Amino acid sequence: MKIIPAIDLLGGRCVRLQKGSYSDVTVYYEDPAEAAAVFQSLGVPRLHVVDLDAARGQGLDNRAALRRIAAVFRGEIETGGGVRSEKDIEELLDAGASYLIAGTVLAKEPQTAERWVRRFGSRFIAGIDALKGEVRVSGWEKGSGLRDEDLAKRAAEIGFAEIIYTNIDKDGMMSGPDIENTERIAEASGIPVILSGGISCNDDLYRAAASGKIAGAIVGKAFYEKSVDLKTVTSRLTDGEK
């Protein structure tokens, strides 16, 4: 199981939100490239970078910050937030992204997402962010009327490489991950699913790995608050221990 540290960008800074609320923000690094350098030193293979400004669709983005991150981190970068056009895709790939996370477009315009996959190939990860089973869009601020399981099946049909599944009730709360529903999405879709939200300690990651159905786990606040030791977890999972 891959361990994927998260860098959330807001106003050019590395932050975390609680339950997706833009009114409840904690800043961890003024320059997110500093966070990327830490993860580079730990040897993690991939970063999860989300542009919270672009996700809201208010004309702001953090692509300059993404370029700074890519300049110091040599592994893969998956990035999402505001991926709404082919121009966005081209600019993000040019800025250093390896994979692009499509959430709002997948939910609202699946035919557009399908066209992207045909043109750019298997670079897309479905971002399925759910609150009580309903998919939320536009930076989690709007409901979609779609059930998470239905969208997961659609993503697989279109040809998405992976799914990131977030239970919004868990995000930023360090209250334990939603392993059960992540497994449900994996079973429904038949493609690799990455767990996001709620990781609070090393044992949460070991439990996710032990499930056998979860391809990866994103770690955010728990790392920044020093309740997860990425070096220890990565070493243990690499050695095949659970």
Residues carrying an active site annotation: 8, 129
* Residue 206 token pair: 């070991």
Compute CA distances 239 → 53, 62, 227, 228, 230, whole Å.
Answer: 39, 37, 21, 18, 14
Q: Is 209 helix (H, G, I), strand (E, B) or coil?
A: helix
Least Cα distance to 232 among 171, 176, 223 occurs for 223
Q: State the residue for tokens 């989690």.
A: 140
Report d(CA 17, CA 174) in Å as an integer: 12
Q: What is the DSSP string of 163-215?
A: EEEEETTTTTT-S---HHHHHHHHHHH-S-EEEES---SHHHHHHHHHHSS--
Q: Is 215 helix (H, G, I), strand (E, B) or coil?
A: coil
Output the CA torsion sign for 45, 10, 125, 143. positive
